[in-house]
Amino acid sequence: MNTSPTGRPDGPEPGRPDGRGPDQRAGHGPERRAGHEQGRRNTPEPGRRTGGGAEGTTQPDGTAQPGNGLPADTRVRQVATGGIELCVAELGDPRHPTVVLLHGYPDNKEVWAQVADLLKDRFHVVLYDVRGCGHSTAPKPLRGGFTLEKLTDDFLAVADAVSPDEPVHLVGHDWGSVQGWEFATVARTEGRIASFTSVSGPSLDHFGHWIARRLSRPTPRRVAQLLGQGAKSWYVYALHTPVLPELAWRGPLGKRWPRILERTEKVPATGRPTTLARDAAHGAWLYRDNIRARLRRPRTDCYAHVPVQLITPTEDAFLSTYLYDDLEQWAPRLTRRTLRAKHWVPRTRPEQLASWIAGFVDGHQPGLPAVEPAATGPYADRFADRLVLVTGAGSGIGRATAFSFAEAGARVIAVDRDGDGAHRTAQLARLAGAPEAWAETVDVADEQAMEKLAEKVAAEYGTVDVLVNNAGVGMAGPFLDTTTQDWKHTLDVNLWGVIHGCRLFGRQMAERGQGGHIVNTAAASAYQPSRTLPAYSTSKAAVLMLTECLRAELADQDIGVTAVCPGFVNTGLTRTARFAGADERARQRLRSRAARLYGIRNYPPEKVAEAVLRAVVRNQAVVTVTPEARAARLLSRLAPRVLRGMARIQPPV
């Protein structure tokens, strides 16, 4: 059954429009290139052109083509507006809510192909080429033909053609978003837009006010922000040069653009734009016609009259995140979403984008009261609707982590050997704010069970965005008393559990190619030797090193890997810990004394959960939590002999 709100189709990758299978996105080098070649051969679009000089807007028979990457059943038509013919593509049932996807620069509507495909089952998806781009005709003369006023005329013409009765939901990326802000803030579109999702494109008016405010009162921080954004905007200055940009786009730059994007922006080379030179050359007039005019004299009435969802990629090379600092002032109904990605989110994170768009559209249907997201946690902008799997979620740190993610609006899968505990976690996670939460009873040490779990998760819930390998057991007692059985048990759970998790779910993340994060729970004893915890410390040290290696390997795929070293935290670990070389009575006594010491320390697992979320947001490598764990980490680097000396002390337990 399909349970995801994005309307993601069942099963693994049923016939992607661009013909890419999961195996073709996984590898590197020659294998990967071969996949791309195959992908291109399978493209349904027959008249595909690469890069330069695709001036033709229609096929010889007079019908426009949907474009590279768009499915063959796309309905294409021309909409006339002010002497321009706009190429409009439609997917999905027109009775469903209409979602208009607006592309940026230098792109045409093909940039939205993957997102449109994910949305088309639940929505009436409309894409159109902005004037002068793709298969739309260009105004004559070009100068003065690309003002935001004229682009608003275009949008209203398209909206009237595709959804004459109902307002449409607008989504814009880059210049599409800049246009979207204009549409969402001018009076004449009122009643025609139900919601607006902005991706990587500020309102020029808001931007103008942002600059003016920083120039009028330049504090050091504000000057730094101005200079930072000024440097990121280098291409804007370049595009104001006459003729040269056009020559470059129609010449060498146009040819090399897909490779440049692949290398610097990590945009997959498949589904490259078919009319790039034309889009880029004409699109330069977007900048020349609007930027100077709007930044010099920004409108003062630029208040959004629709609910706005702002999606900010944190690694954007062209736009700083602090551009949106004062946005609540202009858009009172604002929902913020953040993701760690570069500028071309519609190409690099289509699933994430589609799920946020679908959620926002569902929550803002015209005529119905707006549905506010239930999650109010500190990182709700980051984790809303993401899929998080936590092992060892039946108690302690795992449970607290599951709750923290639930509070941030994530969908949570609670995995534990103890089924009742996992169910309880899932129930309470729903109360804490998770839109969906499931419990799975699995022993992480069991390879086959973990493989089954990975298959089930992929088939029923989707690809995991954040994996927390937290399950672990305690093992105390001197090395000479520790049996091989004890060793096996400890390593099976603490190390092999993490290996299975990383292996199975890490592969799914890498194959999806849309980033992700893995958190492994190590321990302070991973770098703090002690005579009482040889087996436990060894297993956790292995987890720490595994994490560091994996982090290096998966960095290319945008998958972050973090090790968390909590220290003494008041959890059930002591109650279930094994004690080598002690009989049952001594074991009980040791157990309750250890539990009491942990109780006196009383460090709450909730604080570890906070650290886990923060680590994922900041993509930290190793996180130490309690003060004693931090101190030991510092000592292990500065004065390891001190730790070696402390390791010889027999603890009071």
Site residues for another protein per CB under 8 A = 395, 399, 403, 407, 421, 424-425, 427-428, 431-432, 570, 572, 575, 592, 595, 599-604, 606
- d(CA 337, CA 194) in angstroms, rounded, equals 19
Residue 182 CA, chain-centre distance (Å), reads: 26
Nearer to another protein, 108 or 626 (CB): 626
Tokens 């426009």 found at: 64
> 261 phi and psi, to 5 degrees?
-60, -40
Beta strands in 33-81 (DSSP E): 75-81
Question: In the numeric block, which tokens belong to residue 80?
Answer: 């006339």
320: left (phi over 0), alpha (psi -120 to 50) or beta: beta
Spell out the residues 6+ positions from residue 268 whose beta carbon is closer than 8 angstroms to its own: 25, 36, 262, 347, 348, 513
Largest CA distance in the chain: 92
Q: Kindly state the DSSP code that residue 46 receives in the 8-state scheme.
A: T
Q: What does the alpha-carbon distance between residue 640 and residue 624 come to, in Å, rounded to a whole number?
A: 17
Nearer to another protein, 125 or 400 (CB): 400
Q: Cα-flanking dihedrals φ and ψ of residue 579, to 5°?
A: -125, 115
DSSP, residue by residue, 358-398: HHHHHHT-TTS-----S--STTHHHHTT-EEEEETTTSHHH
Question: Which amino acid is residue 161, in one-letter code?
Answer: A
Q: Pick between residue 253 and residue 408 the one whose CB is nearest to another protein.
A: 408
Catalytic (active site) residue 536? yes
Residue number, 114 or 521, with CB nearest to another protein: 521
Q: Which two tokens stand for residue 40?
A: 């291109």
Q: Which CB atom, from 324 or from 405, has the smaller least distance to another protein?
A: 405
Locus of tokens 């945009």? 267
Q: At what angle do helices 276-296 and 175-185 cross, to 10 degrees?
A: 40
Task: State the DSSP code for 650.
Answer: P
Query: CB 68 → another protein: shortest distance, Å?
Result: 47
Smallest separation (angstroms) from another protein to the CB of 574: 12
Alpha-carbon distance of 42 to 33, in angstroms, equals 14
**Closer CB to another protein, 425 or 530, in the complex:** 425
Q: Can the peptide bond before residue 141 be classed as cis, meaning omega within 30 degrees of 0?
A: yes
E strand map for 408-497: 411-416, 437-441, 466-469, 475-476
Cα–Cα distance, 389 to 369 (Å, whole number):
32
C-beta closer to another protein: residue 257 or 598 = 598
Minimum Å gap between C-beta 428 and another protein is 5
Tally of residues, the chain: 653
Closer to another protein at the Cβ: 381 or 416?
A: 416
Q: At what angle do helices 276-296 and 204-216 cross, to 10 degrees?
A: 50
Instruction: Give the dihedral sign, CA 514/515/516/522.
Output: positive
Gyration radius of the chain over CA positions: 27
| Inter-residue contact 232 to 319 (CB < 8 Å) | yes
Nearer to another protein, 340 or 399 (CB): 399
If the CB atoms of residues 433 and 462 are measured against another protein, the closer one turns out to be: 433
CA distances, 401 to each of 157, 334, 493, 535 (Å): 49, 27, 19, 25
Tokens of 290: 């609007």
User: What is the smallest separation between the CB atom of 432 and another protein, expressed in angstroms?
Assistant: 5
**SS percent in the chain: helix, strand, coil, step 5:** 50, 15, 40
Minimum CB–partner distance for residue 399 and another protein (Å): 6
Q: How far is the CB of 552 from another protein (least distance, A)?
A: 36
Query: d(Cα 209, Cα 205) in Å, to the nearest integer?
Result: 6
Catalytic amino acids? 536
